[in-house]
């Protein structure tokens, strides 16, 4: 099994790309195959080296191992040779129509009740007309002449699929500047690299039919390829996710505090009936099966991702967390707060709570109660029993219990209305800070 993940380095990878990359990685690991990273970077205007570097960085963060990267811009000679073979076979023909002329043709065909596909008028161009166009400064783009045959395959996710190439416009393979389009370079590379399985998004289904036709024209065996097209992602309400993908880049999710095992586990299970479990590709591969992926669109729900992220943080050992914690943060601190974190970045706020100089909200209506609580505060040293000893003393002195007892103390000590167990936090806050915050909250 040889697979490829082939993004274009025109931007940062988003969750849709990440899902495709993860599924390819899981299949390669489970079946002892190879995964090749191929950068489809023939669009020199939009592709940038910083995006190529970011793609590799994101894949490493996700725990995805790959061969490469292989860059298409380094393989121009291979594409030129393939293009010459198609021209010699009469399957690649030049065109000069402008986009405006093509738009008018499409509108005319629609008015005539015909499908708005290219009419192949350029095939009637004589050699003399071609030379005259060149002499007038025009530059041709080149279309591939489709066979008109139906191209069928059994998709590992979608089931039996057929694309009628007679209902599709002959695709442009070479631009007027001589650069090659993805439709062409992808097929040339898949043949040359011996790719056996292609896993990508459902939006490529029609493109697959076209590429199978091109695959056969270049001497490949279309029957040797296996395909899996993953349904596209929607948001939690079933709406299109595409408009939000900028905010769902892997880079932004990582910056926000999403852990790699949470994202990998979530995307690996997305679209299936399986409950997601956090883990890296090497840990999840044995249980992965494309047959469990639904044909329906998969809903990307940030709330579910956050729930999985919490699970990762709740079990993260201190040794793993320590390099990312604020300077001075102890093991006791980490184990006190990790169960209340949605994202790792929130740990910094709790470090401020236990070691910083926070200003609690004023609680004038609780002033008398807080002053009594201050009088009951035990001397140091504080330990895991201090909170219960203190609150029991305050309870006896005020008659309060439950929320009326605990809530004002939590607000005064942490500035928050919920959070980690104060049994763990109070020894980290220490008596001096506790005294100062109680006084400030009470207005003393």
Residues 164-216 have pLDDT tens digits of: 999 999 999 999 999 999 999 999 999 999 999 999 999 999 999 999 999 99
- The model's pTM is 0.88
Tokens of 36: 């090749």
For 136, residues 6+ apart whose C-beta sits below 8 A from its C-beta are: none
Residue 406 and residue 261: Cα distance in Å, rounded?
36
Number of Cβ within 10 Å of residue 194's Cβ equals: 10
Question: Does position 96 have pLDDT exceeding 90, yes or no?
Answer: yes
- Nearest Cα neighbor of 350 from 269, 279, 413, 258 is 413
- The owner of tokens 């249980």 is 287
Do 38 and 4 touch, CB atoms closer than 8 A?
yes
- The owner of tokens 């007892």 is 405
Tokens of 30: 């489970």
Do 265 and 278 touch, CB atoms closer than 8 A?
yes
Q: Which domains does the chain have, with CATH numbers?
A: 87-145 (3.90.800.10), 318-444 (1.10.10)
Question: Does position 288 have pLDDT exceeding 70, yes or no?
Answer: yes
Render pLDDT for 226-272 as a digit per residue (tens, 0 to 9): 999 999 898 877 777 764 555 589 998 998 889 999 999 999 999 99
Q: Give 351's DSSP letter.
A: H
């Amino acid at each position: 099994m040889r697979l490829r993940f082939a993004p274009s380095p025109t931007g940062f990878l988003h969750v849709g790309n990440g899902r495709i990359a993860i599924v390819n990685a899981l299949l390669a690991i489970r079946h002892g195959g190879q995964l090749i990273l191929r950068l489809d970077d023939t669009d020199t205007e939009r592709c940038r080296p910083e995006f190529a570097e970011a793609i590799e960085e994101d894949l490493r963060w996700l725990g995805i191992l790959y061969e490469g990267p292989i860059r298409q811009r380094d393989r121009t000679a291979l594409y030129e040779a393939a293009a010459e073979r198609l021209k010699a076979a009469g399957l690649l023909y030049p065109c000069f129509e402008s986009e405006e002329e093509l738009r008018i043709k499409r509108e005319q065909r629609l008015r005539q009740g015909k499908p708005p596909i290219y009419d192949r008028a350029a095939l009637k161009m004589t050699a003399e007309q071609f030379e005259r166009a060149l002499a007038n400064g025009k530059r041709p783009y080149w279309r591939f002449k489709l066979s008109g045959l139906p191209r069928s395959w059994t998709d590992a996710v979608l089931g039996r699929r057929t694309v009628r190439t007679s209902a599709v416009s002959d695709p442009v393979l070479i631009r007027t500047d001589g650069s090659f389009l993805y439709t062409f370079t992808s097929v040339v590379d898949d043949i040359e690299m011996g790719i056996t399985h292609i896993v990508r998004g459902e939006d490529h289904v029609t493109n697959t039919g076209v590429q199978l036709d091109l695959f056969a024209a270049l001497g490949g065996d279309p029957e040797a390829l296996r395909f899996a097209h993953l349904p596209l992602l929607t948001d939690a309400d079933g709406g299109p996710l595409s408009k939000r993908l900028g905010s769902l880049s892997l880079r932004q999710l990582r910056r926000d505090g999403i852990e790699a095992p949470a994202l990998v586990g979530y995307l690996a299970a997305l679209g299936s009936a399986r409950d997601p479990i956090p883990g890296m590709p090497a840990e999840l591969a044995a249980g992965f099966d494309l047959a469990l992926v639904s044909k329906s669109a998969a809903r990307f729900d940030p709330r579910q991702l956050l729930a999985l992220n919490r699970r990762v943080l709740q079990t993260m050992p201190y040794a793993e967390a320590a390099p990312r914690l604020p300077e001075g943060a102890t093991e006791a601190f980490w184990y006190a707060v990790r169960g209340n974190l949605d994202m790792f970045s929130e740990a910094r706020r709790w470090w401020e709570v236990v070691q910083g100089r926070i200003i609690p909200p004023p609680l004038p209506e609780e002033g008398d109660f807080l002053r009594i609580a201050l009088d009951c505060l035990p001397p140091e040293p504080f330990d895991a029993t201090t909170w219960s000893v203190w609150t029991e003393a305050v309870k006896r002195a005020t008659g309060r219990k439950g929320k009326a007892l605990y809530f004002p103390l939590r607000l005064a000590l942490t500035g928050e209305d919920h959070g980690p167990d104060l049994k763990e936090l109070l020894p980290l806050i220490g008596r001096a800070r506790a005294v100062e915050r109680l006084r400030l909250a009470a207005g003393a």
